[in-house]
Structures are given as structure tokens and as C-alpha cells.
Structure 1
């Protein structure tokens, strides 16, 4: 069985590389870069790797297209980027669910809720929900924010009806890092570095594909030009003003494996 899986994987890698090589040749024939341009590209790619920005670049410019090609004709909630700011093993919360935050956490209180179902509309009880997002300064814990590693990060479970509700703060738009090779590329392309405000959310349930997606809010100025092209209309929700807090909700559908 292991040998068979290895051979299948090798064939798949070979087929992908063959296709990539064919399209690369067509691309070079079409664009006809000169050797100076090629050399500058190699230097830039070297900087991208040495500064550890390859995951950032792939998240911003490649991942969204991979996801679209994978799921464009499949039922269920559309996936969106995992992003470079995910941390494994976020704390598992107790009810009532509230993401860990500092005592003096800035930002507007948010109550976010939703349901998780399968493609037949059946509620998925005890689905593990992993949620994380930026703070009121546009920073992620463990990636620049002056906060504990798991600030505004947590895992919790849906109830018997597939429902969940969690307290946090309203995320804000932010710009991706621009000091390195990714920033150089954005400047050359004339592209701004901003992402609209969003929640990252991941769902895990036995017998179903892990769903990694994001939630966006209507009216955000960067929705139409998200630098990572991660916005999907089906992932938009409305922020409701409830006086002392904001609320929003969205329902999710997981695919069978």
C-alpha cells in the first residue's frame, strides 16, 4: 500500500512539473525576457527566500488561485486563505466562548455567531472551530503585536444544533509586510498592500474535509481590491450595531471527504 501511494505521488508530481514546464516555455516565448531581467528576477527570488517571505508571497499571490481551481465547481462554503499568521494549538475555550484578550484590549466588542452543516443541511454537532484575527492596531499576536502569543486566538465547539457564538473584537483592515521582497514586488506592480478586515476561521469534523475560510464585512473600503484577492461574495456579512457591541453571523457548510 505504501509503495503504491509513493508511485502515485511520484506520477502526480511528474505530471504537474511537466505541465508547469510546458506553460513556462510558452510564457517565456510570449514575454521574451532578456538576460538582465532574468538575472534581476533571480536576485529578487533569492531575497524572497533568504528573508523568509516565500510563504507570505505565496499566500498573497498564489494560494487564492489554487483554492479557486480546487473548489469552483464544488458545493459547500467557499474556502479562503489560511494566511501566514496562523498558529497551531490555540487554547480550547470554555463556554461562554470568548477569545483570549488583554485586560485593556482596544477595539469594539464583537459577538460572532453561525451554524455549521453538511451539504445535505444536517447540523454538525461538536465541530471544532478555530478562530483568529488581528487586533485594533492591525497586528496578529506572535507576529508583531505586543501581546501574548494566543491573543485573539481560540478553539471551541459547535453545540448539538451545529451552532456557535463567540465574543471577540471587531478586526480592522491592515497592510501586509512591505519591508522586503514582497513589498518590492507590490511597488513595481503599483499594488497597494491592504487587506480588508476579516476573521480567519477553520472547521474540523470527522468524516469531512477541513474547511479553512475567512469572513468579511460589508462596506469595507478594501473589499474590491484586497491585495490577496481572498474576498468571496458568499463570505460577506453585515456588522450590526447593538449599542454596546457589534454583532455578525454567517452559516457554513462542510464537504464530505
Structure 2
């Protein structure tokens, strides 16, 4: 496939295709979790489901919802499922609150949402490796370096950093056609001092898919669909808690109104011109909490 054919396929990607891929990935991960012996806590299901249903009924009564509005909601909910967009909907509008609750105890680096485009088992690279990408991948070269430490300041040798991000057109590999399987996805192993130097390109801001059910909601509510440019990370080390994060670039017009409400001040990078090569660079350290 030529470079032009690759970009043409990317630009022709449909929300339903992306949604179907996200749903399939999520089902695979949940199946693996169930096989591992996940247990349903019936009391929690009763509590949470009961509160959710009550909250919806309270809205119906307080806002005097009509049958026309109710039927429009029912049709839209069906379309969310048909488009495979439940992972997208939940990750954009609900996950940020779950993440805040789950990580409120942390003393180390701030986390944020995972989002719908994570894929496990990205290729493993040395501490100063280059992310898999196409020949002549468009975008500004970007060097991301730093150190993984524990909250007590100790370096964490052999820590693993998974990175995935959108390309210069705002698309993710395995969720848009035309991209190589592991394009802009990799796992780095930190050196004996917990250091890493990741060579990649600067990602672009992008809109979440808008021709499906989620886009229909956005248009009806008069919202925007933009996410600021960001790098996704999962960082782990032995005897320490995994951190899932996204890191952002100053000056992006949607840092303050991210559709996914995932930006935090602590997650803003400080990119500078790279004095030794083309493009930009930044330094950012990850600090991990020990396992409880």
C-alpha cells in the first residue's frame, strides 16, 4: 500500500467502523477478565443500578419529559448499540469521574482516562527506542524523556511504559483503516536508573467520531467534539501501582473544554526545540505509588 492510499483510507474511516473495533476490543478484555474469575457483587449492582434508574426517573418527572422525547431517547440508545459506540460514549462522558474516584488516594503522578483506543501487547522496545511508524510518517519529531521513580524518590529500573497516540491526521492504528497494525504504539523498558527516551511524533488534536450516535448527540446539544492533542501512557513497575495517564500540549484551544473532561494542570507538558535534532523534546517524570 502506498503512502497516499494509506492516508486516503484513514480519511474515509467511519465512526461505525471505529466503534465496532472499540466494542470488539472491550468484549475481548472483559471475556479475559471473566475467565480470570471476576465475581459479581450483587449488593453493589443493586445499589448502583437502583440509583442510576432512580436518577433517570427523577429527570423524567422534574423535566416533564414527553413521549416524543422519550421515544427519541429510545431510538438514540438503540443507535448507540448499532453503531458500536457504547465504549466511546462511556469513555468520553463518564470515565473521567470513575478515574477520579479510583485514583483519589494516589500520592504520585496524576492519572486520567484510558479512552476507547487502548490495545494490549504493543511491541516492546529498549529504553531509548523509536515508536513503530510508517516510512516518512508525517508530523513533528518529538522526543519524550524522563525517569520512573517511586514516591520515596527511588528509581524504578525495568519499569514499562506503554505509549499510544493519534497520528498527524488524528487517527489511531487498529481503529482506522490504512494504518499498520502497531503504528504509533509501543512499550519501552526503562534502564537501570528508571530512565527512558521515547522517539515519536507530535500527535494532532482530533474530533471524536461524529457521524454516528455520539455525533448525533453532540449536534443536538450544540456541543463540540474536539479532544486536544495528547499522548496516552500506561506505566508500571514491580510492587507499584499501574498509572494510566494522558499528557497534553500547552496552547491547545481545547485544553480548557476537552469533550472528555480529561485534562488536568499536572498533565501539561513543556515542549521545547530539540537542540540535538529536528523537532521538539520534553522531559516528564512518572512517580508511582507502591502497591497497597
User: Do both share a fold (TM > 0.5)?
Assistant: yes
- Name the counterpart of 2:106: 74
Aligned partners of 1:200 and 1:19: how far apart in 2?
A: 32
- SS of 2:153's equivalent? coil
Gaps (5+ residues) in structure 1? none
Give, in angstroms, the shift of residue 8 of structure 1.
Answer: 7.4
Task: Tell me, yes or no, if structure 1 residue 84 matches structure 2 residue 111.
Answer: no
- SS of 1:44's equivalent? helix
Contact (CA 8 Å) 1:64, 1:81: kept in 2 or not? yes
Q: 1:169 to 1:209 in 2, by over 3 A?
A: same
Task: Tell me, yes or no, if structure 1 residue 246 matches structure 2 residue 244.
Answer: no
- Name the counterpart of 1:146: 178
Residue correspondences, number: 253
- Name the counterpart of 1:58: 90
- SS of 2:125's equivalent? coil
Task: Tell me, yes or no, if structure 1 residue 158 matches structure 2 residue 183.
Answer: no
Q: 1:95 to 1:208 in 2, by over 3 A?
A: closer
- SS of 2:62's equivalent? helix
Aligned partners of 2:284 and 2:194: how far apart in 1?
A: 12
- Larger mean CA deviation between 236-245 and 210-219 belongs to 236-245
Gaps (5+ residues) in structure 2? 1-36
- Name the counterpart of 1:26: 58
Q: 1:15 to 1:178 in 2, by over 3 A?
A: same
**1:1-40 maps to which residues of 2 (within 5 A)?**
9-40=41-72
Give, in angstroms, the shift of residue 19 of structure 1.
Answer: 3.0
User: TM-score normalised to the size of structure 2?
Assistant: 0.81
Contact (CA 8 Å) 1:139, 1:145: kept in 2 or not? no
- Larger mean CA deviation between 162-171 and 118-127 belongs to 118-127
Aligned partners of 1:78 and 1:201: how far apart in 2?
A: 12
- Larger mean CA deviation between 118-127 and 153-162 belongs to 118-127
- SS of 2:240's equivalent? coil
Aligned partners of 2:280 and 2:150: how far apart in 1?
A: 28
Aligned partners of 1:24 and 1:181: how far apart in 2?
A: 20
Task: Tell me, yes or no, if structure 1 residue 101 matches structure 2 residue 129.
Answer: no
RMSD of Structure 2 on Structure 1 (CA): 1.9
Aligned partners of 2:77 and 2:113: how far apart in 1?
A: 22
Give, in angstroms, the shift of residue 105 of structure 1.
Answer: 0.8
- SS of 2:233's equivalent? strand
User: TM-score normalised to the size of structure 1?
Assistant: 0.91
- SS of 1:97's equivalent? coil
Task: Tell me, yes or no, if structure 1 residue 112 matches structure 2 residue 144.
Answer: yes
Give, in angstroms, the shift of residue 237 of structure 1.
Answer: 0.9
Q: 1:172 to 1:7 in 2, by over 3 A?
A: closer
Give, in angstroms, the shift of residue 159 of structure 1.
Answer: 1.7
Which of structure 1's runs of 4+ aligned residues deviate more than 4 A?
A: 5-8
